[in-house]
Chains A and B, each alone.
Chain A
Amino acid sequence: MSRRAGVNVPSVRMVDALEGVLGLQWIDGKSVRFLLGGGAEGEEEIEESAYEEDDILEDQSEEEDALVEFNISKDEVMQKIGVEIAKMHKADVIHGDLTTSNMMLYHPRSGLSDLVLIDFGLSYISSLVEDKAVDLYVLERAFSSTHPASENLFASVLQAYERTMGKEWQSIGRRLDDVRLRGRKRSMVG
């Protein structure tokens, strides 16, 4: 469905409805979360008390290395994300679980440089502005919680999204502002 609309998604290779097996294309790459330094899946942080002297501190340069290896800047990744989501929303597909873990970038060795959206397990079809705005909001929250230092990056995702969406953006953008105000116990001062 998304594929027909030109969205980059893994292609389906085999379906066995009886056994409940779905075969998908292998994406030779890494998740965007990893590339932005949000850690890889299954990685755990261990905190130690200060009195254990000889521990190895995390090397912060790892994320830079990853982006260099992929030969791409953070901003370009953001642009790609915005464009892919916009293409998907134009086809009225709502992902339902947009996070940086659910996006992958091809490794340059595969000869491709596309960004691929994965895990459509919670997706559905809807043309409602509300659903698209909530979809974006989920991603915004995922950004601010996993990549706290990169909040302005989400702005460039939205820019690219806006450009691709065209005039549909007006209503979605307005709704997104509404959605952001939801939630409890926010300070209402000022």
Chain B
Amino acid sequence: MPGKIRKRSPLKLPDKPYIALGLEGSANKLGAGVIKHSPDGSTVVLSNVRHTYITPPGEGFQPRDTAQHHRQWAMSIIKDAMKQAGISLHDIDCICYTKGPGMGAPLTSVALVARTLSLLYGKPLVGVNHCVGHIEMGRQITGAQNPVVLYVSGGNTQVIAYSQQCYRIFGETLDIAVGNCLDRFARVINLRNDPSPGYNIEQEAKKGTRLLPLPYTTKGMDVSLSGILTSTEAYTLDKRFRMDGVANEGEDVITSQDLCFSLQETVFAMLVEITERAMAHIGSKEVLIVGGVGCNERLQEMMGVMAQERDGQIFATDERFCIDNGIMIAQAGLLSYRMGFQTPITKSTCTQRFRTDEVHVAWRA
């Protein structure tokens, strides 16, 4: 049997404690976190503060309003993060911010905050790819060595594997992201956006009893989700559909719970399929789920069954680290900062299009 290949990590142990502040605001969450890498190789999360912009039921978050929210809360969130960490801004080594991908207006408002702090305190800036942030945080928290990563959130759906200093995308969505698909359906059936539409779908789905036929669209290693959303929405116009779920004697009804259940089962099955194929191809036995949809316990359960059948292991984190947060930006940013990477202030832009595979992962072998 082939054994284990040892590779030396290019990342040296820190010669002194390094502390980084991470600022995240690529979607409707604004987060600030402080992380510390010690000379003994340990990593400590000093603080992780987040505030979410929550819209009324039936509405999504618009870029302009979201940016407004971030500007309003930035000061208090950062102050909270510093207070909880028990340090001052003078003590940190670098300021990490999300360079992309994400919504333009929220990204720029947070980047502006990062630039201002950088100039005020004379600290270097580090621009971070949001997806890489998720992956590095997941690896740090779970201790997974070389997992296949399923990154599922409101804006992204990707199956990622690491190879030769690059996180390579094996499969992804061809249209909308899985979180977007679930959130938009939550809007159709008027679920609350608090704490998150996806969480409420999950709770509703637990009460669903009936699996309705929906399209199953994997295309090669990719998935397509927009048609499934349309088909699910079409069921709400079906004459058997009852929003309140009340059925008269002997009546055949479709409830919104059934639809949540069917939607979840179908899209998660597709995600498990493409993840399994990536695992089979790479020969990895570890799978790591990151991103906002990653805290869905049904997805974790389905992935767990698949991993078990392959004698593998599943790694997942809870909502503190799954959902967008500042600490993941700090972690990924600090890793690249320790490899000597900095973003000069003249280049501290952000971009809505920034693919995971465009990042040079200097800190891994």
Contact = CB atoms under 8 A, between A and B. Distances in A.
Nearest to B162: A45
A138 B220 contact: yes
A51 B282 CA distance: 28
Interface string A138-151: 10011011101100
A183 to B, nearest CB: 6
A42 B3 CA distance: 8
Contacts of A49: 9, 11, 13, 41
A63 interface: no
A148 B220 contact: no
B283 A40 contact: yes
Listed residue (A40, A45, A51, A148) with the most chain B CB atoms within 10 angstroms of its CB: A45
A97 B2 contact: no
B322 to A, nearest CB: 20
A48 to B, nearest CB: 6
A47 B2 contact: no
B71 interface: no
B73 interface: no
Contacts of B355: 185-187
B283 A45 contact: no
B101 interface: yes
B285 A186 contact: no
B174 interface: yes
Contacts of B168: 144-145, 148
Nearest to B166: A148
B116 interface: no
Contact of A46 (B5, B221, B277): B5
Given A43-B283, A49-B41, A182 B4 contact: no
A184 B172 contact: yes
Contacts of B172: 183-184
B347 interface: no
B6 interface: yes
Interface in B1-21: 1-13
B164 interface: yes
B281 interface: yes
A100 B13 CA distance: 37
A79 interface: no
Contacts of A185: 101, 156, 352-355
Contact of B163 (A50, A51, A135, A146): A146
A101 B101 CA distance: 32
Contacts of B101: 185
Nearest to A189: B353
Contacts, number: 124
Interface size class of A (residues with CB under 8 A): 35 or more
Interface size class of B (residues with CB under 8 A): 35 or more
B219 interface: yes
Interface stretch (A54-62, A67-75, A166-174): A54-62
A99 to B, nearest CB: 5
B7 A47 contact: yes
A19 interface: no
Contacts of B12: 50-51
A134 interface: yes
A183 B174 contact: yes
A41 interface: yes
A45 to B, nearest CB: 5
A119 to B, nearest CB: 9
A101 B283 contact: yes
Interface string B206-234: 00000000000001111000000000000
A137 interface: yes
Interface string B162-177: 0110101111111101
A40 B1 CA distance: 9
Interface string A6-49: 00000000000000000000000000010000011111111111
A42 B2 CA distance: 7
Given A51-B13, A57-B6, A185-B353, A141 B284 contact: no
B5 A45 contact: yes
B209 to A, nearest CB: 29
A138 B221 contact: yes
A44 B170 contact: no
Interface of A: 33, 39-52, 55-58, 97, 99-101, 134-135, 137-138, 141-142, 144-146, 148-149, 182-188
CB-CB nearest 3 A-B residue pairs: A138-B220, A41-B283, A145-B168
Given A45-B145, A49-B13, A50-B9, 18 more contacts: A39-B5, A40-B283, A44-B4, A46-B146, A47-B364, A47-B365, A48-B6, A49-B9, A50-B13, A55-B6, A101-B280, A138-B221, A141-B220, A141-B221, A144-B168, A146-B281, A148-B168, A184-B156
29 contacts: A41-B283, A42-B283, A42-B285, A43-B4, A45-B5, A45-B7, A46-B4, A47-B7, A47-B146, A47-B364, A48-B6, A48-B7, A50-B13, A58-B7, A134-B220, A135-B220, A138-B220, A141-B170, A141-B171, A141-B221, A145-B161, A145-B170, A149-B164, A183-B169, A184-B173, A184-B175, A184-B177, A185-B355, A186-B355
